[in-house]
A and B are shown apart, each in its own frame.
Chain A
């Protein structure tokens, strides 16, 4: 043998490309079967593949769709309420002596309605009432005028002059209840100081 011819089959060997009589046909290679199936069902295959791609794409889009952010929590009332000083006003009829009144404006910028449950001031010798009387609600986007009436109950427990006085306003909305000090500025300080002096000079004089 020159060694160039085919090797003779030995025991237990056989040629792959010849079917032995009576033997079952060898399984077709899967690629061939797929190609054969595809040639027979080309349109169906294309339709199925396209549908699968569309389905996958649609599913992905749905899964990653822009989510509506959850509604933001209501703001804390102190962050949306503003209280500003307006002016000194005539004291309502029928109140006791040593009283004086101021008008302030309370406004609510946004969020749920805010209820004023109490208006107070820090001096031990002064008591406070308001009109409208607390509690009263105010809606977002609106403002209301409040007349704050103060009565000096003990001149010994009031300041000689008020430098930067404030009103303590208790605010309530669906988020929280807060006491916020509103420092109403120099004009309020001056008017309050004068009113306190008048109230207490009447007392001593």
Chain B
């Protein structure tokens, strides 16, 4: 009798404990490990992971990784675990093309995020398109990648498998020109570029708009991105009487260029695009870089609640490198691939079809979600429909947003 009663108490306590344990599990993560069975889908990442531009590249890689981990944790696609595989293109088109070939050869790769550089993208697009492997760049801004080389007169999409979440230089260059001419009241510009696809293209769209506004181009120069001695160009800027310098290129050259122009005696701001919007630019430009300007894709992070969440999650994930200018866009690019995979799996009774790559590429056109950088979807050219951009100025050793715009044309 006594034993029966003790058993009853023990049973009651055990039931209570089990109840508590069960209650406790509702707040847990639901398992982020890949051992849950099902299919593993690889999302490739191509970016410069070493070299001068690695700050931006590593931010892209880490942000893609965060998106994949989040999707696994939240079991966004039932039965599918996402894995990120990153390859280093060293900002070189030839390396990018080799990486594209490697990704194509791996049948588990259903989408690729990247690259950073428009010149690298040019070398990868056809490789991916032939394999119907979707590519979503978080950073390419050259208009020709989506709208064809004659984009100014007749737009024609060259590759159906190529998409991007960033806006283009067709908007970025003119927006910068309007800010420089109308807001900063600068009328004489010296235009410099690094002869690369991105830099030369951006400088061209800036120059075109600046002239239309009534501004004067008092000099142009091309620099060699492999050197860091720009003293000859700096002297030309000084002698030109320019009241502003526009640079089409990236921060590893833009920082020293800004510093050397000021050192030569031309106390004029250097203005660039998203390629110089990096904390490393401020370090390289030094104290005299105060007042330099950069346009970058997207709205300022502090305006977007979704971006704040991304920033917090990125920090909690413990990545060593900053997410930099394209972190949010990389997360959204990765998430777009995840959404496309989800659509394909759901439409195929919960399994990946045999022609998954082609179907994912097709599904990407219809993807639409609220991402880190706002609403994410793509137009008929594969360009982001969300076309916001912001002008930043270097103030007290940091970038500060000074004007934001939205393209609604």
Question: Which residues does A use to contact B, with CB under 8 Å?
Answer: 35, 38-39, 42, 45-46, 49-50, 53-54, 56-57, 60-61, 64, 66, 72-73, 75-76, 78-79, 82-85, 122-124, 159-166, 178-188
Question: Which residues does B use to contact A, with CB under 8 Å?
Answer: 2, 5, 8-9, 12-13, 15-16, 19-20, 23-24, 26-27, 171, 174-175, 177-178, 182-183, 208-209, 212-214, 299, 303-305, 374, 387, 403-409
Residues of chain A contacted by B404 (CB below 8 angstroms): 78, 178, 180-181
Contact indicator B182/A164 (Cβ below 8 Å): no
CA distance A84 to B407 in the complex (A): 9
CA distance A185 to B174 in the complex (A): 12
List 18 interface pairs A-B (beta carbons < 8 Å), by A numbering: A45-B5, A49-B9, A49-B13, A53-B16, A56-B20, A75-B305, A79-B299, A82-B406, A85-B409, A123-B182, A160-B212, A163-B177, A163-B213, A178-B404, A180-B404, A180-B406, A181-B406, A183-B387
Given contacts A160-B212, A164-B178, contact A181 B13 (CB under 8 A): no
Contact of A50 among B5, B12, B408 (CB under 8 A): B12
Contact indicator B405/A166 (Cβ below 8 Å): yes
Contact indicator A183/B212 (Cβ below 8 Å): no
Contact indicator B13/A185 (Cβ below 8 Å): no
Contact indicator B408/A160 (Cβ below 8 Å): no
Q: How far is the CB of A116 from chain B (nearest CB, A)?
A: 15
Residues of chain A contacted by B208 (CB below 8 angstroms): 163
Contact indicator B408/A83 (Cβ below 8 Å): yes
Contact indicator A79/B16 (Cβ below 8 Å): no
Q: How far is the CB of B103 from chain A (nearest CB, A)?
A: 35
Contact indicator B303/A79 (Cβ below 8 Å): yes
CA distance A73 to B405 in the complex (A): 22
Contact indicator A159/B212 (Cβ below 8 Å): yes
Contact indicator A72/B305 (Cβ below 8 Å): yes
- The residue of chain A having its C-beta at the shortest distance from the C-beta of B6 within the complex is A38
Q: How far is the CB of B9 from chain A (nearest CB, A)?
A: 5
CA distance A83 to B15 in the complex (A): 61
CA distance A40 to B31 in the complex (A): 49
Contact indicator A122/B182 (Cβ below 8 Å): yes
Q: How far is the CB of B171 from chain A (nearest CB, A)?
A: 6
Q: How far is the CB of B57 from chain A (nearest CB, A)?
A: 28
Which of B299, B303, B403 counts the most chain A CB atoms within 10 A? B303
Contact indicator B182/A85 (Cβ below 8 Å): no
Contact indicator A163/B408 (Cβ below 8 Å): no
- The residue of chain A having its C-beta at the shortest distance from the C-beta of B24 within the complex is A64
Residues of chain B contacted by A182 (CB below 8 angstroms): 405-406, 408
Residues of chain A contacted by B27 (CB below 8 angstroms): 64
Contact indicator A73/B305 (Cβ below 8 Å): yes
Residues of chain A contacted by B171 (CB below 8 angstroms): 164, 183
CA distance A41 to B227 in the complex (A): 92
Q: How far is the CB of B287 from chain A (nearest CB, A)?
A: 30
Given contacts A160-B212, A181-B404, contact A186 B409 (CB under 8 A): yes
CA distance A75 to B303 in the complex (A): 8
Q: How far is the CB of A64 from chain B (nearest CB, A)?
A: 7
Q: How far is the CB of A161 from chain B (nearest CB, A)?
A: 5
Q: Give 20 new A-B contacts, CB below 8 A, not counting A57-B16, A57-B19, A183-B174.
A: A39-B2, A49-B13, A53-B13, A53-B15, A61-B23, A79-B304, A79-B374, A82-B406, A84-B408, A122-B183, A159-B214, A161-B212, A164-B171, A164-B175, A166-B405, A178-B404, A182-B406, A183-B175, A183-B408, A186-B409
- The residue of chain B having its C-beta at the shortest distance from the C-beta of A121 within the complex is B182
Which of A73, A76, A122, A164 counts the most chain B CB atoms within 10 A? A164
Q: How far is the CB of A7 from chain B (nearest CB, A)?
A: 36
CA distance A64 to B22 in the complex (A): 12
Q: How far is the CB of B307 from chain A (nearest CB, A)?
A: 10
Residues of chain B contacted by A160 (CB below 8 angstroms): 212, 214
Residues of chain B contacted by A38 (CB below 8 angstroms): 2, 5
CA distance A54 to B214 in the complex (A): 80
Contact indicator A56/B405 (Cβ below 8 Å): no
Among all A-B residue pairs, the 9 with the closest Cβ atoms: A185-B409, A53-B16, A181-B405, A164-B174, A122-B182, A163-B209, A76-B303, A183-B407, A163-B212
Q: How far is the CB of B170 from chain A (nearest CB, A)?
A: 8
Residues of chain A contacted by B407 (CB below 8 angstroms): 183, 185
CA distance A123 to B171 in the complex (A): 18
CA distance A53 to B8 in the complex (A): 13
CA distance A181 to B208 in the complex (A): 20
Contact indicator A35/B20 (Cβ below 8 Å): no
Residues of chain B contacted by A180 (CB below 8 angstroms): 404-406
Contact indicator A78/B23 (Cβ below 8 Å): no
CA distance A42 to B6 in the complex (A): 10
- The residue of chain B having its C-beta at the shortest distance from the C-beta of A61 within the complex is B23
Residues of chain B contacted by A50 (CB below 8 angstroms): 12
CA distance A166 to B8 in the complex (A): 78
Q: How far is the CB of A173 from chain B (nearest CB, A)?
A: 12
